[in-house]
Structures are given as C-alpha cells and as structure tokens.
Structure 1
Amino acid sequence: MPRVVPPVADERTGLTAYLAHQRRALRVTAYGLTDEQARMAASASELSIGGLIKHAARCESFWTDLILQQPRRTQRDANESAADEFRLAPDETLADVLAAYEEAAERTDAVIAAIPDLGQPVPVPPGAPWIPAEVREWSVRWVLLHLIEETSRHGGHADVIRESLDGATFDPLLAAAEAWADPWVTPWKPASQ
C-alpha cells in the first residue's frame, strides 16, 4: 500500500479508497504483535490494539447491516459489556480479529459496489442516545464518511498504543509489513533482532 491514497477519479472511488487506506493503517498497527501484546492496554485507557480491531470489525458490520436493513450479524453476548468490545478476550486471538475485520471489510465493499446511488437512504436505529432525535435516515455516502471517521479515530488510538508498547510507529511498521525498499524509511524490526 502506498503511504498515501492514490489520485481518485470520482466520489465513490475516493470514499472507498480512503476507507481501505484507513483499514490498512489500523491493521498495520498490529504488525508483528503477539496475542499477549495485542491484548495489552498500554495507555491510561483500557483500549488494546486487538480490541480496537475487534471493535472496528463489529462497527463496520453494524453499518453494513443497516445499509441492507438486516438484523445485526455481530452482537454482544449476554456476558459481554460495552467495554469488552474494545478488548481482546483471553479466548480470542489477533489472527481471529484480523480475519473478522477482513471479512467485514470485504462484505462492506461488496455491498457498496452493488449500490448504484450513494444517496440511497439508510434508516437510523431509533432511540440511540448519540443520534440526533430528528434524524430518521442517513445516506450510504454518510455511512462511508462515518466509517472513515471511525476507522481513523481508532487507528490513531492504535498508533499511540503501539508506540507505547514497543516504540514502533506507522511508517516503519508499514515499510516492514510491505517489505519496502524505500531508502527514506527504515523498516521496523522486533527488538530481539
């Protein structure tokens, strides 16, 4: 993946390219981590990289379900709190949440590709306290912008957590993950190498 999104020809390509780019950036924060490291909350909050990726997958599935007007595919079980969605549980692996995120992204991409008009209305679930009471629907365009915003926000959280874990930052992680031969960026290496 290039460091920046390539030029885009139209709105749909721009929105989907920026979403794909932010997804990849979030995934890169997990590059080279063990399951134990992916569970670690290395800042003042309880957020972990594995938990953020798990949440991003669930969030994307939630919005895709709304676009399709289907019941939620990914819901918390009775024993799971809202905070648990942001943690990698002991029985979950980083590979599991990365695979779930990839599946959610592929599904979203397929759904968006099949929608001819990004202005198509998307009903808003009633009663959520974070949704303005007068809003009854958004557009698919709005959903894509929201997913970009949500993914970017959590990617920033993950950047801070990763740097707190082992000092790794985005460009060296990306260079390592993609095996760049770029002379401007030294690829990240685990401390043991």
Structure 2
Amino acid sequence: MSPTPPRRSRRDTPPPRTGSSETEVLRGFLGYLRESVAAKVEGAPEPHVRTPGVPSGTNLLGLLHHLTAVERATFLGDRVADWQGTFHASPEDGVADVVARYREAVARADEVLDQCADLASPVPRPRSGSPSPSVRWALTHMIEETGRHAGHADILRELIDGATGR
C-alpha cells in the first residue's frame, strides 16, 4: 500500500428512510449497512484487498468473509469453531467469490427474516441443542456487527486506493 493513495471518492449514501415499524427500521438499517460493507470490497484491487492494514492482520476481504460467517451463524444456524479464522479468506478466493458468498448469505438470512412476524420470537434456525436469540436481538446484533466492520472497511479501503463514501 502506498503511503499517500490518490484521492478517489464516490457519493456518500445517507441512511435509509424506512417505514415506521420497529421491524422496518431494523431491517432497513441492516440492509443499508450490508450494502455499504459489500460495496467497500467490490472492485478493491488484489493483492491489497487481502493485505493487512493494521498490525492485528485485519484486511478488507477478511472482514467480508467474517461477516458472511456471522450472518450464517446468526440466521441460518451454522456453527463456527474458530471465529478468528473467519477473518481470513482462502488464497483461492477472489473478491467476486467472497462478495457473492456474502450476498448469498444475506439473501438466505432475509428469507428467514421474511418469515418472522414477531420480533420477540426466536430466530427459526435449524440448530439443535442451542437456544436461538430473539429476532430483535439478532437484528440488533447484526446492525452492530456490520456497522462496526463497515467502519473498519471504510478505513482499509481508503488506505488501499483512496476510495471514500458509502
């Protein structure tokens, strides 16, 4: 990564105007953050997209790979044995592969959420032996998790090629 990347920006997308129900607000903000983080990874150049931007090893592609695992665990019931390992995409995975898997996980998670009319009910995920969180908790957690990593992605993408904006 060059120490002074060229300044490139794109239009900043404001937060969504959602409906007035709690579900519409939560799902609207989660959708907004999901799209923001995916857009940060799309078009990012190799090998910089997987090059750590900070001493902890965090990289742009790894963030989206991790968020895919979180979506799948939260809404689809996937078990994750090594959360730290989810921060690293396979060397064979290109940007398009990781983005496509993320978008597919989001689409499947949205299918689950489409079936949930009551925010207080548990997420209907196929995981036995472990209680599911409420839909409200799951949505709030995903907003927090995705927003946190979207902020990391903002910084990492700007360090790579100067791209800013949501």
Q: How does 1:1-193 map to 2 (within 5 A)?
A: 2-66=13-77, 72=78, 75=80, 82-122=83-123, 138-170=133-165, 174=166
Distance in 1 (CA, whole Å) between partners of 2:128 and 2:35 is 28
Residue 139 of structure 2 aligns with an amino acid whose one-letter code is L
Distance in 2 (CA, whole Å) between partners of 1:29 and 1:119 is 33
Runs of 4+ in 1 over 6 A off after TM superposition: 123-127
Residue 120 of structure 1 aligns with an amino acid whose one-letter code is S
Change (3 A) 1:30 1:107: same
Q: Structure 2 stretches of 5 or more lacking a match? A: 1-11
Distance in 1 (CA, whole Å) between partners of 2:63 and 2:145 is 11
- The higher-RCO structure (CA 8 Å, 6+ apart) is 2
Distance in 2 (CA, whole Å) between partners of 1:137 and 1:102 is 23
In the TM superposition, residue 2 of structure 1 has moved relative to its aligned partner by 4.3
Q: Structure 1 stretches of 5 or more lacking a match? A: 67-71, 128-135, 175-193
TM-score in terms of structure 1 length: 0.70
Greater mean deviation of Cα atoms: 102-111 or 160-169:
160-169
Distance in 2 (CA, whole Å) between partners of 1:45 and 1:163 is 18
TM-score in terms of structure 2 length: 0.81
Is the CA contact 1:39–1:50 (under 8 Å) kept in the aligned structure 2?
Answer: yes
Is the CA contact 1:39–1:89 (under 8 Å) kept in the aligned structure 2?
Answer: no
In the TM superposition, residue 53 of structure 1 has moved relative to its aligned partner by 0.4
Give secondary structure in 2 for the equivalent of 1:35: coil
Alignment RMSD, CA only?
A: 2.5
Residue 36 of structure 1 aligns with an amino acid whose one-letter code is P
Give percent identity, aligned residues only: 32
In the TM superposition, residue 31 of structure 1 has moved relative to its aligned partner by 3.4
In the TM superposition, residue 82 of structure 1 has moved relative to its aligned partner by 4.1
Is the CA contact 1:60–1:147 (under 8 Å) kept in the aligned structure 2?
Answer: yes
